[in-house]
Structure 1
Amino acid sequence: MSRVKESIEVDVPVRTAYDQWTQFESFPQFMDGVERIEQRTDKLTHWVTKISGVKREFDAEITEQIPDAKVAWVTVAGEGEQSGLVTFQPIDPTHTQVTLMMDFDPEGMAENIGDKLGFVDRQVKGDLKRFKHFIEDRGTATGQWRGQV
């Protein structure tokens, strides 16, 4: 298993950052390689990704979700084994620290080499930067889900 952890400060209140992160179907707008996400239930999402020409489909189950604090998930079906946690920490009333931690199991020689060369770390860092620009440019979330899992 490999692990990646990246953080970024976003210039929006914690509620705005969290509410946007719960809009999983908007992820393709700021996550490279994510083609589509379907939210099938409150706890189940279906992902279609294409990274470095490799297309994958998998289901991820939300294992814990606490408004304005965190979202945790684990893959439950499809290609690739992965789990993760994103946390939201208020810095002050208008700034939030977003931290993304992910454990994943690279498959095949190409993914193992890419992992060792830091590709996943750079991918996550870039996705967080794009999230920052996305939410700061909007100023408000595209929706919200305030339920708890």
Structure 2
Amino acid sequence: MSTVKETVDVDVPVRRAYDQWTQFEDFPNFMEGVEEVRQLDDRHNHWTTSIGGVQREFDTEIVDQMADDRITWRSIGGDTQQRGSVRFERLDDTHTRVELTLDVEPTGVVEKGADALGLIDRRVKGDLRRFKDYVEGSGGTGGGWRGRIRPEDPGTTL
């Protein structure tokens, strides 16, 4: 499994950065290779990606989420194996550090080759730069999910 860890500082308050990240269906606006994300419920999303001409569909489950602090997820089912976390650190009233950690198990020749060439690292770095542009610019609708998902109680959201 390969681990990618990238950080970007955005010129928006932590609440705006976090709220925008919880708008999962907006991900195709700044994530390369993400064709669609459908939010199924507070905890589950269905992804359609196309990387190097290989289309994949998979589901993710949020296992820990705390407003303005973190979101942690894992893939469930399918052949795409990944888990990750995004953290939001308030730097001051108008600046936030966003740190993304992604553990991914490349499957297939294309994905394994992309990983060996460092393309996954570069893609994540590019996605965070595009997120910065998106959240600082006119992108994003505001509003976000402010609930709490606790890892010790996977069936309950508050």
Backbone CA RMSD of aligned residues: 1.2
Q: Percent identity over the alignment?
A: 52
Task: Count matched residues.
Answer: 149
Partners of 1:48 and 1:109 lie apart in 2 by 19
- Greater mean deviation of Cα atoms: 50-59 or 110-119: 110-119
- Give unmatched runs, 5+ long, in structure 1: none
Aligned pairs for 1:14-93 (under 5 A) are: 14-93=14-93
Contact 1:20 1:144 in 2 (8 A): yes
- Residue 114 (structure 2) pairs with residue 119 (structure 1): no
The two structures have a TM-score, normalised by structure 2, of 0.91
Structure 1 runs of 4+ with >3 Å offset: 139-142
Match of 1:62, SS?
strand
Contact 1:135 1:141 in 2 (8 A): no
Contact 2:75 2:81 in 1 (8 A): yes
Contact 1:17 1:141 in 2 (8 A): no
Partners of 1:141 and 1:121 lie apart in 2 by 28
Q: Deviations over 1:38-71 (max 9, x none)?
A: 1101000000001110100000000000000000
Which residue of structure 2 aligns with residue 145 of structure 1?
A: 145
Partners of 1:147 and 1:138 lie apart in 2 by 25
